[in-house]
């Protein structure tokens, strides 16, 4: 069963930001038009059509004729219009389906936006931190993270239960997922998938209109940005050397392996603390409930003494602003 499911995994998961919108050209648009109803400009329509040709070309370059594409799209008008233009590049025989997905919509910045107020709150956001700052009447990127996480759980259920390939006679057909959404949503999606930290999220640059991010399945069974993209592109997107090194590892790793050199999920997170003495090595200290090096049991000490003790976690620098 595990091998059968592995065979159905998408060859690519392609993230696409919508084309140029009226709001991208004139921020005053948000003052009188709901964010979800903002449309593409003429330039945005052309960008989307060219993006469709680009996506088809990158799928066909492998020389596999039996390929299919399934689309997920944000319900915002500019994303729907982008998908309509992208779809012009594909014949119906290659399209498995389209699903409108509200969980990959744009970050909510509030209702009708006043330009001067938005300048103020965006200034506050830069000081507070882009990931955690919640816009008045809107969302933070952390809120987007939560709903993208929910979407990913549904996505993997669809893949595991073969819902996306249900109408294909050849169940091993080359499957490509295209997700048309928004800049923040794309960055959060990658953050969630690759387990990037909130600090690393702050490094990322917003993709341009109709720019793509291609997560491609490597030979070992892991997804990596470096199968299709170059290291130079990843640097332009804001990935740190450590993040790029992890993408390189994923490109060559066998599925199920653990990257011991990834400090945000491995024990190397604690390397700078040094070795800690075994608290149970001294029977006398245990019997007397005496703290060892200020870090041992504290059952009979005063509350003030316990509060004044410093643990290794107290040394962590949590100032990510």
Instruction: List residues with catalytic annotation.
Output: 18, 106
Segments in the chain forming alpha helices (H): 2-7, 22-25, 42-60, 77-86, 115-128, 141-160, 183-194, 198-201, 231-237, 241-252, 283-287, 303-308
| CB 177 within 8 Å of CB 13 | yes
| CB 212 within 8 Å of CB 14 | yes
Cα separation, 143 vs 133, in Å, equals 10
- 8-state DSSP, 144: H
List all residues 6 or more positions away from 150 whose beta carbon is below 8 Å from its beta carbon: 103
List all residues 6 or more positions away from 56 whose beta carbon is below 8 Å from its beta carbon: 89, 90
Pair of tokens at residue 109: 């910045």
Helix (H, G, I), strand (E, B) or coil at 267: helix
| CB 101 within 8 Å of CB 76 | no
Burial of 218 (0-12, 13-18, 19+ CB in 10 A): middle
Cα separation, 200 vs 296, in Å, equals 34
Tokens 């744009």: give the residue: 106
Pair of tokens at residue 217: 């399945």
């Amino acid at each position: 069963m595990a091998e059968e499911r592995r065979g159905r995994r998408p060859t690519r998961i392609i993230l696409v930001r919508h084309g140029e919108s009226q709001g991208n050209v004139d921020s005053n648009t948000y003052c009188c038009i709901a964010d979800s109803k903002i449309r593409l400009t003429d330039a945005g329509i052309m960008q989307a059509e060219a993006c469709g040709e680009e996506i088809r070309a990158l799928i066909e370059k492998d020389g596999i004729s039996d390929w299919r594409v399934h689309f997920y799209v944000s319900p915002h008008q500019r994303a729907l219009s982008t998908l309509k233009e992208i779809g012009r590049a594909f014949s119906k025989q290659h399209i498995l389906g389209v699903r409108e997905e509200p969980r990959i919509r744009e970050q909510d910045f509030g209702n009708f936006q006043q330009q001067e107020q938005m300048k103020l709150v965006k200034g506050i956001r830069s000081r507070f931190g882009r990931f955690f700052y919640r816009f008045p009447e809107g969302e933070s990127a952390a809120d987007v993270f939560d709903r993208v996480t929910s979407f990913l759980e549904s996505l993997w259920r669809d893949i595991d239960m073969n819902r996306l390939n249900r109408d294909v006679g050849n169940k091993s057909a080359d499957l490509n997922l295209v997700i048309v959404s928004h800049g923040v949503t794309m960055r959060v999606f990658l953050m969630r998938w690759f387990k990037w930290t909130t600090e690393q999220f702050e490094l990322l640059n917003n993709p341009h209109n109709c720019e793509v991010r291609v997560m491609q399945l490597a030979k070992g069974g892991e997804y990596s940005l470096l199968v299709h993209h170059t290291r130079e592109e990843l640097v332009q997107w804001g990935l740190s050397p450590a993040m790029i090194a992890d993408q390189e590892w994923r490109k060559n790793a066998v599925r199920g392996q653990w990257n011991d050199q990834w400090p945000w999920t491995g024990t190397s997170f604690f390397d700078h603390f040094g070795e800690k003495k075994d608290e149970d090595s001294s029977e006398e200290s245990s019997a007397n409930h005496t703290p060892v090096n200020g870090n041992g049991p504290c059952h009979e000490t005063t509350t003030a003494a316990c509060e004044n003790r410093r643990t290794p976690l107290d040394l962590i620098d949590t100032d990510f602003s």
